[in-house]
Chain A
Amino acid sequence: MPGSSFDALELDALKELMNLGFGRAAANLSELMDLHVVLSVPRVELVPIEELASYVANEVDDPKSFNVVEQFFLGNFEGTSFLLLPEEEGRRLVEMLAGGDTDSDNPLDSLESETIIEIGNIIIGACVSKVAELLGDVVTYLPPRFATGALDRELLERYVQPGPGMALVLKTLFRFERRDVFGLLFLVTTDSGLAWLKRAVSSWLESLS
């Protein structure tokens, strides 16, 4: 299986690529919202696809209610990205971007959910495009999708179909300074993209040595 052959240096390279991609995403977002985004050290892991939904659910402290923005990206670097925002934090982001208060007793209205999709689109697009660019690829995107609800297998399996193989999971946490808002970004590339990714990372490493 191609994914299982990533060595420590290649995984470090993927972590650094994610760091560069998220740096770009944070810069774009901070310009839009006039807020400082605090970056964390990304994590890179290989996870069996059939365990992916449980893995993601285990990554959050309270899986009760989340907003999810999911976007598929196509290219040699291909996969699914999803941004997870606890529901209340999603509301705070909407208030920060659009102004005013949201009604916490009711579900987000269409304008509010569109705002969250736009935030997700900025983060995912900047991050994925930067990683692809550094590896010499160009990606295209399918329209983002939005969902809200308990972060359980049912919700997650709408986006990641269980099946054989490994998923490469790149995870980062972001926080908006002084706003107490956090979110999690996952990029999941499955078997079809892993062999290409390994070759591209090897070439990148060769150029550095």
Chain B
Amino acid sequence: MERTVLLVDDSVVARMGLKKILRESSFAVVEAASGEDALAKVDQGLEPDLVFLDLTMPGMGGLNALRELRRRRPELPVVVVTADIQKATIQEAMDAGASEVLPKPAERGSVMAALARAGLA
């Protein structure tokens, strides 16, 4: 069965990089340009196997989206991918329920390792 990953980032370019890695590893990819967009897709029935989520986004932002995703789908692995690599930010993301935090730009090795830790690769 094809596994689905939800990419949440306001940057088209950031999504492009991750999408390339995931498609080459035979994942189906669904994109969302904001936290609101991601939540709407989940509310409409999307059942991703994993989410890659940016933090610095307009609107509700990544942290609030993370908390909402966690509330709706407590078992869903959410990997935060962020340019903000301050210790306090990483801790905040983990406290909000991130499975792990990867620094941007996410490299193939770290993406595949995160998928493996989630039991998807």
Chain A interface (Cβ within 8 Å of chain B)? 9, 12-13, 15-16, 19-20, 22-24, 26-27, 30, 36-37, 39-41, 134, 177, 205, 208-209
Contact = CB atoms under 8 A, between A and B. Distances in A.
Which secondary structure characterizes the binding site on chain A?
helix
B11 A12 contact: yes
Contacts of B57: 41
Interface string B2-45: 00000000111110110010000000000000000000000000
Contacts, number: 56
B84 A26 contact: yes
A205 B83 contact: no
A22 B86 CA distance: 11
Contact of A15 (B11, B86, B104): B11
Contacts of A40: 56
Given A23-B85, A27-B85, A208 B104 contact: no
A41 B56 contact: yes
Contacts of A209: 16, 20
Given A30-B88, A39-B56, A41-B57, A23 B82 contact: yes
Contact of A19 (B12, B83, B89, B103): B83
Interface residues of B, number: 22
B13 A36 contact: no
Contact of B83 (A9, A23, A30, A208): A23
Given A23-B82, A36-B89, 19 more contacts: A12-B11, A12-B13, A16-B11, A16-B14, A19-B56, A20-B105, A23-B83, A23-B84, A24-B83, A26-B86, A27-B84, A30-B87, A39-B56, A41-B10, A205-B16, A208-B16, A208-B17, A208-B20, A209-B20
A13 B58 CA distance: 16
A98 to B, nearest CB: 21
7 contacts: A19-B11, A23-B85, A26-B84, A27-B84, A41-B56, A41-B57, A205-B16
A150 to B, nearest CB: 32
